[in-house]
Chains A and B, each alone.
Chain A
Amino acid sequence: MSEFQRFLAKRLAISILLTLVAVSVIFVVLRLLPGSPFESLVTAGNLSQQQITEIRAMYGLDQPMWRQYLSYLQSILLFQFGYSILRSQPVWGVLAPRLVNTLILLVPALVTTAVLSSLLGMYVGWNRGSKLEKLSIIATTFLRSTPVFITGILFVIIFAYNLELVPAFGMRSISASPEGYVETFASLDFLHHYILPFTVSVLYYSGDFLLLARNGVVEKRGSEFLKLHRAKGLSEMQQLARAGRNSMLPILTYFALRLGMIFQGLILLEVVFGWPGIGRELVLAIQQQDYPLVQAAVFIMALAVIVANLVADVLYAYFDPTVSTSGGGAA
C-alpha cells in the first residue's frame, strides 16, 4: 500500500466511526432523554390503550432498548427512514424534493461566490491598503458576521417590499403548478423567486472566501519566490496569477467543507424566504414533533459534513504534494 492509500484508509475508517457515533447521538437525543419525543408522542393526545399499543408496535417502542437501537441503526444506515407521522407518507418521499430544492439554491450560490469572492480577494490582497480592499473587507465582514436571517429580512424589505422588484416569499407563484424538475426549475417564475435568496447566499458566503484569498495573496506577496518571479520580469498580472495559484489550496478545501455544511448552513435563510428546502422542513418537523422526519433530516446533514470533511482532507493531501500524508492525522 502506498503512503497515500494508507492515509486514505485511515481517514475512511475515522469517517465511518464518526457516522456511527453521530447516529448514536441522534438516537440518544431522540429516545433516551427524559420526556423523549417518542414517548411524548405516545402519551400526548387522547389515544385509546389499543391505539397506544399500535403506535408503540409501529415504532418498535415495545421492544427492549438495545433491540430498538439495533433496528434503528440498521434502518437509518440503509436509508430506510420510515413514515412521516404528519404527512403520512414515506419520509424519503417528503425529503427528496426538499433536498433538491436546497441543492438547487445553494450549490450554484456557493460556486458563484467561491469564484467571484476569491478573485476579488486575490485582487484586493495584491493591492493591499487600497480603498477597494478596505471597502470589501467592511462589506464582507458585515455580511458574514450578521446572522443570515437579518440580511435576508433587510433584503426582503428593500427589494421585495419597497422596490417591489422580486417576490418575497416561496419558490414559485401560488398559481404555478409545474410538473417534474425541468418544468419547475427552468421557468422565469422560478428565476424570479430564485434571485433574492440566491443573492443573499452569495453575499453571506463571500466573506470567508474573500478573506482566505486575500490573506493567501498578502502572505505570498512578500515571499521569496515571488521576488524571483518579479526579478524575472513577469508583469503585475502574471505575478498576481502566481500568488493566486499558490493560495488555491486552502480555498479549495474550504469550499469542500462548506459544501458539506450546505444542508445545515442556511436553515434560517430558507425560513425567511419560505424556500421549501430541507432546513425549513426540519424546523417545521421539529415544531410539529414529526420525529421520523427529524431523525432522517439530521442524519442526512451529519452525513454530508462527514463526507465533505473526508473529501477536504483527501483533496488537501492529494493536491499538496509537499504535505506529508502520514504526519497529518496523528500529530
Chain B
Amino acid sequence: MSLLDITDLTVTYSTDSGTVHAVNDVSFSIDEGVNYGLAGESGSGKSTLAEAVLGLLPSNGSVESGSIEFQGRDLTGLSERERRDVLWEDIAYIPQSAMDSLDPVMSTGAQIRQAIQTHRNVTDDKARARVRELFEIVGLDPDRIDDYPHEFSGGMRQRVTIAMALALEPDLIIADEPTTGLDVIVQDKIIDKILEIQDRMDSSLLLITHEIGVIAETCDELSILYGGKAMEQGSVDNVLVNPTNPYTMGLKNSFPEIEEGDQDPVSIPGSPPNLSESPSACVFKDRCPFATEECEASHPDLVDLPNRNHRSACHHVTKAAQMRRDATDPETWGIPDSHDESDRGEVLLETDGLEKYYEQSQPLLEQLRGNDPNYVRAVDGVSLRVRRSEILGIAGESGCGKSTLGETIALLKQPTGGEFVFDGEPYEHYADGNMREFRRKVQIIFQDPFDSLNPRQTVRQLVGEPLTIHDYRTEERERAIIETLEKVGLTPARKFLDQYPHQLSGGQRQRVAVAKALVLDPDFLICDEPASMLDVSLKVNLLNLLRELADTEDIGIVYISHDLASLVQVSDRLAIMYLGRVIEEGDVESIAAEPKHPYTTSLLAAAPEKDPTVDRDRVLLDGEPPDPVDLPSGCVFAPRCPKAEDECRESEPGLDTVRSGEHRAACYFPDGETPAADDLADDRSGTYGDPEFSSPASGDSASD
C-alpha cells in the first residue's frame, strides 16, 4: 500500500473575479521511503496541492472533488481535530520562505518544543533535550536553542524549520520550495541535509520546486504540473531523460546548465494559461509548437507508456522521439536563432581599485577621541573593464557586494576610492556637472519586475519619461516609444501603451523595464539580477534578449547575478566576487571549465544538475562569509577555504597571483593542478584530494 494516494484531486479558489481552477484532476501516489518531486512554473498549482494535503488552503480555497488518502485514511473528510492529530505527527511541513516562517517573538527552540508538546505528553526538560538533539542533527549549535529567529541567517533558519519537521519523525515530509531565495551554496547544503536526514529516518518526501535540477538530484519519482494539470509523471530517470511531453521538454531545455555553454537554452514563449475555466482543451496548447486540432478538442488523459514507470498527457505521445529532437531547436518554438558573434569593441568602462566603504555610525565619545570609524567594505578595490558588445557577468552570493558594485558603477552611489573611467572621462568629470550626460548613456535595470515600475504610470509614460528628462527625440516621442517596445519584444506595441503595470505579467513588466532603459539608446547597461524573480522560461527569454542587444546594438552590459548557470549562458567574461573583492576573472569558457579559485569551484559545484543520470559530487563549504566590518587578515576566503595554509592567513593574494592569458585569480593554491578537477565538463567533481571535503556528510559541521 502506498503512503499517500491522491486521486483526481480538484482544488478551486473563489475570488472576486470568479473561480480559479488551481488544480484539476491530479492523481499520483507516493510509496513509503520514496522521494517524490512536484515541478512546475508559478501558477502551476504545485503549492496549492501541498496546501490541500496539509489542509492549509486559505479560506477561499476548497477541495472540489477527489480524495487524498494517507495510510488509507481520506484526509479531506477529517474534522479539524482529527486533522490536527495527523499534522506533524504523521505529516510534517518545511515551508517555502524560512525568512518569514518562524514566529519572530518566540525563540526557535520554544517553537520546536511547541510542536513536540502539542502532540506528545513530555516534560519540558525532555522536550528541550530533544530540541538540542535536533539542532545537532541539522548542523546547528545546540546552545543556540534559546535564540530568536532574527539572530539566525536565512540558511540557518531553514535548518530550524527542518529540525522542526523532524521533531516527531513523521512518515511524510512535505517541503515547499525549501531552497528558493537561498544562495546556491547554502541551497546545496540544505538539499544535502534533507537527503541525509531523510535517509536516516526512512520517511518519504514530497518536494515541491520549480528547479528541475533539484528534483533530478534528489527524487525518485516526479510529476510535472502545468495549469493545474499533471502533464507527465513517472520515475525521474524516465521522465527527465526521455521526456515525452512537449511541456517537459520545454521546461528541461530552458533550464540553463553550466557545461552546455555552447548551446543556448530554449525558452517557452507565451504565458501560463488562464485558469478561470475548468480546462476543456489541452492546457498547454497555446504555447505548444506541436499543437493540432486534436489538442483543441480535449485535454489528453495521462497514458501509461509501455514497459516503464512513465505516464504522459499528450495527444502526440507517439511522436515523442521526433518532438524531442525538434524541441531543442529554438525555431520550433518560434524564436529566431540569432547567434552571430560580433567583435567586441573599444573599452567603455574601466575601474581600477574601485571602493565603496560605508562608515559605521560610532559613539560620540569615540569620535572625540579621534578613533577611526569602522568601515563596511561593500566594494573593496574592484578593477573591471567592459567593452562595447561585451557582457561581463558578475557572480557572487548575497552580501558579497555585487549590487553595491552595480549601483556604484551606475554612479547611484558615490565611490569612496579608486579610479572610474567611462567613455574616456573620469568620475570627476561626471560628478562635476555632467551627470545628465552620464545618465543618458548608462542605464540600470533592477531586480524586481514587480517593483521597478511606478504603479501609477502607463507604459507610455514609463517608457517616455526618460525622453522627457533628457529632451531626447521629443518630436517623435511616440515613435521612439513604440520602436523600443518592439525591440524588447512587446508586440504589438500599441496594445501596451495605455496599460498600467498591474495589467502586465511579470515577464512583460521586466520587458517594459528594459525598454525604459533602452529608449535613450544607451551605450552601457547594468543589469542587477533582472531575472531572479522570473520563471525559468521567462528568464531565458530575457537572457536571450540581452545577448541579442549586446550583439546587435554594440551595448556594453554588466550582468549581476547569483545564478552562475545563467551567467555562463549570457556572458562573455565572468568576474566572481567574494566579500567586496573580485577573486577570479576571465573568459566564461575558461572559468567554467577550469576554475582556479576554490570559491569558484564550490560555486560551480553547487549548481544542481538537471540530468538525473549524472552524479555530482558536492563541495560543501564550511560556515558563512565573515562579517564585512571585521575581516580576517590575509585572504578573506581563508576561514572557509579547504586548502588554506598559513600563507593565506598572512597576506592577501592579488588578482594577478594566478594568471593564464585573460584568466586571473586571487589564490596562492589555485585549483586545476590536481588531475581530478581537470575535466569539469564530464565530471564536475570538486574533489580537493581531501576525502573529508568531498563526502557529502561533511556538511554536518555547524554553519555559523
A residues with a Cβ closer than 8 A to B are 1, 6, 222-225, 227-236, 238, 242, 245-246, 248, 321-322, 326
Task: For B118, list chain A residues within 8 Å (CB).
Answer: 232-234, 238
On whether A232 and B87 interact (CB within 8 A), knowing A224-B96, A227-B56, A322-B150, the answer reads: yes
- Cβ–Cβ contact B105 & A224, under 8 A: no
**Chain B contacts with A in 23-72, Cβ cutoff 8 A:** 54, 56, 58
With an 8 A cutoff between CB atoms, is B594 at the interface? no
In the bound complex, what is the Cα–Cα distance between A229 and B87 (angstroms)? 10
Inter-chain pairs besides A234-B118, A246-B105, A322-B148, 20 sampled, C-beta below 8 Å: A223-B100, A227-B56, A227-B95, A227-B101, A230-B56, A231-B54, A231-B95, A232-B87, A232-B118, A233-B84, A233-B86, A233-B89, A233-B119, A235-B84, A236-B80, A242-B103, A245-B105, A246-B103, A321-B148, A322-B104
Q: How close is B49's CB to chain A, nearest CB, in angstroms? A: 15
- Assess whether B97 is in contact with A224, with CB atoms less than 8 Å apart: yes
Contact check, A231 vs B56: say whether CB atoms are below 8 A apart: yes
From B80, B88, B101, B106, A224 is in contact (CB under 8 Å) with B101
Alpha-carbon distance between A235 and B101 when the two chains are bound, in angstroms: 18
CB distance from A10 to the nearest CB of B (A): 10
Q: Which 6 A-B pairs have the closest CB atoms?
A: A233-B87, A224-B100, A233-B84, A231-B93, A224-B101, A232-B115
Q: Hey, what's the 0/1 contact readout for B301-341 against A, CB within 8 Å counting as 1? A: 00000000000000000000000000000000000000000
Determine which of B105, B114, B150 lies in contact with A232 in the assembled complex, contact meaning CB atoms within 8 Å. Answer: B114
Q: Judge whether B361 is part of the interface by a CB distance below 8 angstroms.
A: yes
A6 CB to closest chain B CB (Å) equals 6
Which of B88, B148, B363 sits near A233, CB closer than 8 Å?
B88
CA distance A227 to B80 in the complex (A): 15
Q: Does B469 contact A (CB under 8 A)?
A: no
Q: Which residues of A contact B115 (CB under 8 A)?
A: 232-233
Contacts of A225 in B (CB 8 A): 100-104
Measured in the bound complex, the distance between the Cα atoms of B92 and A219 in whole Å is 25
Interface residues of B in 73-102 (CB under 8 A from A): 80, 84-89, 92-93, 95-97, 100-102
Subset of 24 A-B contacts with CB under 8 Å = A6-B363, A225-B103, A227-B56, A228-B93, A228-B102, A228-B103, A230-B56, A232-B87, A232-B88, A232-B118, A233-B84, A233-B85, A233-B89, A234-B118, A235-B84, A242-B106, A245-B105, A245-B106, A246-B103, A246-B105, A321-B150, A322-B104, A322-B150, A326-B361
- Give Cα A248–Cα B80 distance, bound, in whole angstroms: 28
Return chain B residues, CB-CB under 8 Å to A6. 363
Task: Point out residues on B near A: beta carbons under 8 Å.
Answer: 54, 56, 58, 80, 84-89, 92-93, 95-97, 100-106, 114-115, 118-119, 148, 150, 161, 164, 361, 363, 365
- A322's nearest neighbour on chain B, judged by CB, is B150
Task: Please name all residues of chain B whose beta carbon is closer than 8 Å to the beta carbon of A248 when the two chains form the complex.
Answer: 105
Q: How far is the CA of A224 from the CA of B80 in the complex (A)?
A: 20
A217 to chain B, nearest CB (A): 14
Q: CA separation between A235 and B83, bound complex, in Å?
A: 10
**Which A-chain residue is minimally distant from B51 (CB atoms)?**
A227
* CA of A125 to CA of B148, assembled, Å: 26
Give the complex CA separation of A89 and B101 in angstroms: 63
B contact residues around A321 at 8 Å (CB): 148, 150
- Chain B, residue nearest A231 (CB): B93
Q: Is the interface of A mostly helix, strand, loop or mixed?
A: helix
Q: Give the interface centre of A233, A235, A248 by most chain B CB atoms within 10 Å.
A: A233
Q: How far is the CA of A8 from the CA of B118 in the complex (A)?
A: 40
Q: When chains A and B are docked, how far (Å) is the Cα of A143 from the Cα of B363?
A: 47
Residues of A within 8 A of B87 (CB): 230-233
Report A4 CB to chain B, min CB distance, Å. 12
Q: Which residues does chain B contribute within 8 Å of A322, judged by CB atoms?
A: 104, 148, 150
Give min CB distance, A11 to chain B, whole Å: 15
Residue of A nearest to B360 (CB): A326
Q: Which residues of B contact A229 (CB under 8 A)?
A: 103
Contacts of A1 in B (CB 8 A): 363, 365
Residues of A within 8 A of B85 (CB): 233
Residues of B within 8 A of A242 (CB): 103, 106
User: Which residue of chain B is the closest to A236 with respect to CB atoms?
Assistant: B80
Q: Which of A222, A228, A245 contacts B101 (CB 8 A)?
A: A228
Measured CB to CB, the closest approach of chain B to A326, in angstroms, equals: 6
Distance in angstroms between the alpha carbons of A225 and B103 in the assembled complex: 5
| A224 near B95: Cβ-Cβ < 8 Å | yes
Per the bound structure, the CA–CA distance linking A223 and B103 in Å amounts to: 10
Residues of A close to B93: CB separation below 8 A: 228, 231
Across-interface contacts of B106 in A (CB, < 8 A): 242, 245
In the complex formed, the residue of B with least CB distance to A220 is: B103
Q: Nearest-CB distance from B169 to chain A (Å)?
A: 15
Give the nearest-CB partner of A326 in chain B.
B361
Q: Which of B86, B105, B161 contacts A228 (CB 8 A)?
A: B161
The CA-CA distance from A230 to B363 in the complex, in Å, is 44
* Of listed B103, B148, B164, residue having the most chain A CB within 10 A: B103
For B363, the closest partner residue in chain A by CB is: A1
A236 to B96, CA, bound (A): 22
A6 to B365, CA, bound (A): 11
Q: Given A224-B101, A242-B106, decide whether A231 and B365 contact each other with a Cβ distance below 8 A.
A: no
User: Considering only CB atoms, which chain B residue lies closest to A2 in the complex?
Assistant: B363
Q: Which residues of A contact B58 (CB under 8 A)?
A: 222
Please, how many angstroms separate the alpha-carbon atoms of A235 and B58 in the complex? 16
Using CB atoms, name the residue of chain A closest to B118.
A233
Query: Smallest CB–CB gap between B523 and chain A, Å?
Result: 35
Chain A hits for B365, CB < 8 A: 1
B609 to chain A, nearest CB (A): 30
- A232→B93 CA distance, assembly (Å): 8
Evaluate contact between A228 and B95: CB separation under 8 angstroms: yes
Q: Are B114 and A234 in contact (CB under 8 A)?
A: yes
List B contacts of A326 (CB < 8 A): 361
* B104 (CB) vs chain A CBs: closest residue: A322
Write the chain A residue with the least CB distance to B161.
A228
**CA A242 to CA B363, docked complex, whole Å:** 37
A229 to chain B, nearest CB (A): 7
Complex contacts, A231 vs chain B, CB 8 Å: 54, 56, 87-88, 92-93, 95
| In the bound complex, CA of A228 to CA of B118 (Å) | 13
* Distance of A128 from chain B, by nearest CB (Å): 9
Alpha-carbon distance A231/B96, docked complex (angstroms): 13
Give the CA-CA distance A321 to B104 in the complex, in Å. 10
CB-based nearest A residue for B95: A228
Please indicate the chain A residues that have their CB under 8 angstroms from the CB of B89 in the complex.
233
Q: How far is the CA of A236 from the CA of B79 in the complex (A)?
A: 13
**Nearest B residue (CB) for A6:** B363
Residue of B nearest to A235 (CB): B84
Chain A residues with Cβ below 8 Å from B100 are 223-225
Instruction: Give the CA-CA distance A233 to B120 in the complex, in Å.
Output: 12
B residues less than 8 Å from A230 (CB atoms) = 56, 87
In the bound complex, what is the Cα–Cα distance between A233 and B86 (angstroms)? 8
A173 to B85, CA, bound (A): 61
Smallest Cβ distance from A118 to chain B, in angstroms?
Answer: 16
Greatest chain B CB density within 10 A among A224, A228, A229, A235 is at A228
Quote the shortest CB–CB distance from B410 to chain A (angstroms): 23
In the complex, the chain B residue whose C-beta lies closest to that of A247 is B105
Contacts of A223 in B (CB 8 A): 100
Q: Smallest Cβ distance from B364 to chain A, in angstroms?
A: 8
Compute how far the CA of A231 lies from the CA of B84 in the bound complex, rounded to whole angstroms.
8
CA distance A230 to B88 in the complex (A): 10
CB neighbours of A224 from chain B (8 A): 95-97, 100-101
Could you tell me the distance between the alpha carbons of A236 and B150 in the complex, rounded to whole angstroms? 26
CA of A227 to CA of B150, assembled, Å: 18
Q: Which of A224, A230, A232 has the most CB of B within 10 A?
A: A232
List residues of chain A with CB within 8 A of the CB of B95: 224, 227-228, 231
Which residue of A is nearest B361, CB measured? A326
Whole-angstrom CA separation of A257 from B352 in the bound complex: 53
Q: Nearest chain B CB to A221's CB is how many angstroms away?
A: 10
